Structure 1
Amino acid sequence: MDRSSRPRSWSRSRRIVPALAVAAAAALALAGCSSGSGGKKAEESEGGGGGGSAGRANTPRMTIALVTHQSPGDTFWDIVRKGAEAAAAKDNVKLVYSADPNAGNQAGLVQNAIDQKVDGIAVTLAKPDALKDVVSRARAAGIPVVGLNSGVSEWQKLGLLEFFGQDETVAGEALGKRLNGLGAKKAVCVVQEQGNIGLTQRCDGVRKTFSGAIENLYVNGTDMPSVKSTVTAKLEKDGDIDHVIALGAPIALTAAQSVAEAGSEAKVATFDLNKQLTKAIADGTVEFAVDQQPYLQGYLAIDSLWLYENNGNYMGGGEQPVLTGPAFVDRSNVDSVDGFAAKGTR
């Protein structure tokens, strides 16, 4: 589809193709490309390297911007980006990646993508109010926008085409039920970024189903020594805490150090995986993780924009998100995902 012929303002009411593309997109998945860390500077990827290749689409070259709220050093986003790069390699897409944890700066990166007249934008909505206006400008410019990872409760309000991620409230509720089954009585939920709605929804979801006591503990997720000292102090002060709930793999690994340093008997449970975290689950340092499959989020976000551009396809019927989680990983099944985590795709 030539974008010059596309209506300047698209909406879900204009769509005419049924939402049956999820299985087709997933079936086209291939091994990911190597990725680096995010930052304010946009980084381009031509979609080469990495694992096996099934060839590149012969459709016209597209440029797609992926704009996230990645904090410096947060390796979770390397997995998202690796999935996006794999889709870009298959779809003949030039991927332009940029990130900033400051919501205003992230909005500025989206505006940069609009100014560059990209063919599509994939964006995270950790702080959706700050992105509302710029997403509206992208739509007015005729640029399709999809959401991923954060903002499952907000993507429709902002008029996005599709959303790929986890319902964080549902994931939190599942974790709360799991704690009940383990006989937990008192937990602390460690929040590493205030104002991030996804993190808040996780803790709130746990609170809905957990029959024990729970409180939030706010830390600075970009300063791990500070995270460690804050969690350690909390455990030393309150010996009744039997579970520390982390909202990211690096936080969980640091919390495990805090447990040891405080001489606490608390268990650590977490959301999200990385290769270090799977090893911690295997050796019992971390009890379990809730996996949302970030590689799949990045892959589907880019592939969906290619499908929309070339076939008019869209996923989820325009009304439902495409959920990539939650799934529990513990000692009973960690061996089945460890190899994928080691190569950076889980």
Structure 2
Amino acid sequence: MKLSDFDFDLPDHLIATRPARPRSAARLLLAEGGAIADRRVSDLPDILRPGDVLVLNDTKVIPARLTGTRTRASAQGDATAKIEVTLLEPAAEGWQALAKPMRKLRVGEVIRFGDALSAEVVEMGAAGLRLVFDATGDAFDAALQTVGAMPLPPYIASLRAPDEQDRQDYQTIWAARQGAVAAPTASLHFDAPLLDALETLGVEFVHVTLHVGAGTFLPVKVDDVTTHRMHAEWGEIGADAANAINRAKAEGRRVIPVGTTALRLIESAADGPGRVAPFEGTTDIFIYPGYQFRVTDGLMTNFHLPKSTLLMLVSALMGPEKIRQIYGHAVADGYRFFSYGDASLLIP
């Protein structure tokens, strides 16, 4: 199974840099029973069935992109330089992060992010650095809200800088548990009126948590995709959520995760066909064609990058040939791609 099997041509103008407004006005490509239909996310109450379970990731994105300055004494006097930092994940002490330019930093240096926050570089390596901040807990969270910017994906950040609107746009309306540095983007299409309409229909919502890491954007660098190693992300499925999923499966109702993050988590927690166990810990599950799904009956997801692990995941769910057909249709019909783009509902 070669990396080139998951490539396709995507015109640049189809990469969305802003979401649809309202959220549920985004287009929805429905692929079910071999057919493809062009719909809107707002049509979900006409598409889903009473009793369907939507699995929602309630992670909350932190404003993980920081701009600071470092000061170093020299024979010519103090020298100040600008440093851009992206937080990756909490460490045993401090945070793992990336910095640009990193080559000029030294262990022991302090980076100041305005008056609200500063951090000491305590460790450096090939994969990044570790920072210990001068604030922790609620004080750190408050300072981060003041000085941080939303960590837009590289393919958006290269086209425009994040702004205040992204603090709302790049966050789900049910976000509750802080810790992600990337959004579960299929969930960005839901607004309050849509949730109300689905609840009235009889759709059940189950909340789980997977803190999405920056590794979700890492490219696959091996030609034989089966040798690729996924990044690990922390997740949790509570007992109530596991029981709700298991009850639905036992009753023959469909379990449809909203987003690949929710799908990867419930498949990680599966302890048999049609069953999940409560789960807390890290998962590095890699789903590619040949994988046997144990819990998932469908998936709502955005359109993914060429050669990405997420494209491999949807190819595992629908079959590579069907995904090529779906993506060919999406490109030809002008669907908007990636995090702020349109959605698909895939029912194998």
**TM-score, normalization by structure 2:** 0.31
Q: Which has the higher contact order (CA 8 A, sep 6+)?
A: 2
Of structures 1 and 2, the larger Rg is shown by: 2
Comparing both structures, which one devotes a greater share of its residues to helix? Answer: 1
Whichever structure has more strand as a proportion of its residues is: 2
